[in-house]
Amino acid sequence: MNMASIGILCSIIFVILIRANAAFVKVQCTTESVGQYGQQSLLDCNVKHSEEVSDFQIRVVVWKKEGVDEPVLMFNKEEITSQPGFQFAEPSWNNRNMNVSLLITNTKVVDSGAYGCMVIGNSGDDMSDTNLKVTAKYKVPTISSIPEKITLNTGGSLICKSDGGYPKGEIRWFDEYNTDWTKSAKMEAKQTTSGLVQLSSELTLLQGSVFSKYICQVFNASGGKEAETTFNIPVTSEKHERKEEKKENAGLATKVIPPLLVIGALILVLLAVFFHKRRSQQPRRQSTTPLMGDHHQACRCELDAEQGDLGTNETENS
């Protein structure tokens, strides 16, 4: 038998022995676990061994995350080593404890992914995979408008924002009649340094087709609604707007009229003084006329008298 044949035979025997030992040990993990951001997450794994093994002991436990070279937790040679934030779910775990579940104390977005748990015992070994799905709930959205004051007869835009969620969700728009306006909006999703997602959606309101109420709803990646906010637009008619305009004009008039009243009063005073002076001057002008008439009449009487005397003298001389 050559060396190649011997090598193949040894490999077959090794595989058979491993499978035989694996029949005595079984690692069972839940297929998927869901963890909340900022909370504890549990990856549930337990070791099952054959009843034929009376004194089963665990020698090695290795927890690895896909894409990470170093194990997140390892038990070897009676010593436990782990990365920060990872530990056995059982605080007082020992090599006779079949609960090898992994506890993540403060779940982050980067903790999501596939994990593998390998167990080596004194009568066999086995491994199993599990997956952690990290979620974070979105905050109650806020709505702002451009311009700040929007009426039913003016256009503009509504901007809805919500952050703190994971994975990427969706913002939807509805009016007071529950009509979906999401397709008319533009949404953006940005991932922050913490891995959480910030959602922003802008809905354009066309002039003449504005509703009195708009509802912004936030949905998670699974399609479940998490929060909503309502934006009410003042219900104003044309008559009401005219009244408001009249009020504004009246308010403006109240600011303008007092100075005009003062100016008008001054004008009236000046006119009164002017006419008073004019009236006081009119009698003086009228009194000169009789005086002049009397003077002419007196002069005329004197002239007639002189002429009469002259005529008398002429008669006497003749």
131 and 32 in a common domain: yes
Average pLDDT along the chain: 81
Residue 294, pLDDT above cutoff 70 = no
40: in domain:
yes
Amino acid at 184: S
Among 135, 166, 195, the domain-final residue is 135
Domain that holds residue 163: 142-237
153 and 184 in a common domain: yes
**Tokens 């009063």 label which residue?**
265
57 and 107 in a common domain: yes
Do 133 and 34 form a contact (C-beta atoms < 8 A)? yes
What contacts 178, CB < 8 A, 6 or more positions away?
Answer: none
Q: For every residue of 118-163, which 3-state class applies, written as one string?
A: EEEECCEEEEEEEEEEEEECCCCCEEEEECCCCCCCCCEEEEEEEE
Please state whether the predicted TM-score (pTM) of the whole model is above 0.85.
Answer: no
Mean pLDDT of 294-304: 47
pLDDT at 157: 96
315: in domain:
no
Among 237, 255, 276, the domain-final residue is 237
146 and 50 in a common domain: no
302: in domain:
no
Residue 38, pLDDT above cutoff 50 = yes
Residue 245, pLDDT above cutoff 80 = no
Tell me: the pLDDT tens digits for 149-194? 888 888 899 999 999 999 999 999 999 999 999 999 999 999 999 9
105 and 149 in a common domain: no
105 and 163 in a common domain: no
155 and 122 in a common domain: no
Q: How many domains does the chain have?
A: 2
pLDDT at 129: 97
Using pLDDT thresholds of 50, 70 and 90, give the confidence band for residue 234: confident
CATH number, domain of 172, equals: 2.60.40.10
Tell me: the pLDDT tens digits for 111-130? 999 999 999 998 889 999 99
Using pLDDT thresholds of 50, 70 and 90, give the confidence band for residue 254: low
pLDDT at 271: 75
CB atoms within 10 A of CB 162: 24
Among 190, 210, 237, the domain-final residue is 237
Q: What percentage of the chain exceeds 90 in pLDDT? A: 58
129 and 34 in a common domain: yes
